[in-house]
Amino acid sequence: MRRMKLTSPGVRAALGWAVAVVLILAWQLAAVTGESLFFPPPTEILAAGYQLWFSAGLENGVLTDAFHVDVVPSLERLVIGVLIAVAVGVSLGVLLGRVRVVAQFVEPLLHFMRALPGPVLLPMALVLLGTGNEMRIALITFGAIWPVLFNTYSAVRQVPESYLDTATVSRRTSASTLFRVILPSASAGIFAGIRTATGLGIILLVASELVASSDGIGFGLMQSQRSFQFLEMWAFIVALSILGYITTLLLSALERLFLRWHHLYKAVVA
């Protein structure tokens, strides 16, 4: 009832963009009139970002060397860290969801560990794993694994008994039941976990790069701030938000691909 009012999806999207454009224009206007050193106008930030990362020219592949130092390492860490979190989180979640005994023993411990904010582990990770990529990836994985694990766990436990009965009377092997029944049935829940995990992953990525690093977006952000290059600092901030936006788009695309049935299904059944 509440969503009947204004909005077809198209209108809503247009409104969203319009608001964004108005806000950016206001920012531009305020920055130009204010002339503060710390708040450069968006046009200058974009120009600085372009200069920094995309000015190598078409013949050199557009991306500058700085892009490979500032952005690429971050992307690698994020992708590897989140992928490991997904692989381990889904496996553990399925194990916990399917084997009651394991869940009974391990669940309290897992809740305890989940309660730890990821950045808190940074000092320990530095000592244990050093200052290399492993430490940063481990930290991202540690932070990102929980939503995947717990969402998988609860989604797997909610797989209807009747689906499992159907698999059993069809004489499926356990592997076949896992991949053809349990995981598809739990996929929407798992996917929600992956979305949250990716968001947390970005936070931990930056946190891990603020300390003892020599490249990446977090490092660049820190470095430009320390050297009073506020335009660059803002460029890094904008780069981060764009990274977040792109991952959201990417996940939405994946979701449309794999969970199309689920959206249609919910619309029909609800």
Partner 1 sequence: MTEALLVVDGLRHVYQTEEGEHVVLDGLSLTVNRGEFVSIVGPSGCGKTTLLRALSGLLKPTSGTVSLAGEAINGVPKGLAMVFQDYRGSLFPWRKVGANVEFPLLGRVGAEERRNRVRESLEAVGLENFAGRYPWQLSGGMQQRVAIARAIAMRPQLMLMDEPFASVDAQTRSDLEDLVLRVRELYDMTILFVTHDVDESVYLSDRVLSLSKSPTVLTADTAVPLPVPRDQIRSRENPVFVSTRSEIAQLIRRAKPAGLYGPGEAIPTTSNFAVPVLR
Specify the 3-state DSSP secondary structure of 176. helix
Residue 228 interacts with partner 1 (CB under 8 A)? no
Question: Contacting partner 1 (CB under 8 A), which of 158, 176, 214, 241?
Answer: 176
Helix (H) or strand (E) holding 1: none
Residue 179 interacts with partner 1 (CB under 8 A)? no
- Cβ at position 264, least distance to partner 1 in Å: 7
239-268 positions binding partner 1, by CB under 8 A: 261-262, 264-265, 268
Residue 169 interacts with partner 1 (CB under 8 A)? yes
Question: Contacting partner 1 (CB under 8 A), which of 2, 3, 5, 171?
Answer: 171
Question: Contacting partner 1 (CB under 8 A), which of 7, 91, 104, 166?
Answer: 166
Residue 174 interacts with partner 1 (CB under 8 A)? no
Lookup: tokens for 52: 């920094």
**Whole-angstrom Cα distance, residue 51 to residue 55?**
5
Ramachandran quadrant class, 171 (left: phi over 0; alpha: psi -120 to 50; beta: rest): left
- Cβ at position 160, least distance to partner 1 in Å: 5
- Cβ at position 190, least distance to partner 1 in Å: 13
Lookup: tokens for 268: 């029909």
Per-residue HEC secondary structure of 80-115 comes to HHHHHHHHHHHHHHHHHHHCHHHHHHHHHHHHHHHC
Please identify which residue in the block is written with the tokens 């204010």: 34
What residue ranges bind partner 1 (CB under 8 A)?
160-163, 165-166, 168-173, 176, 180-181, 184-185, 187, 261-262, 264-265, 268-269
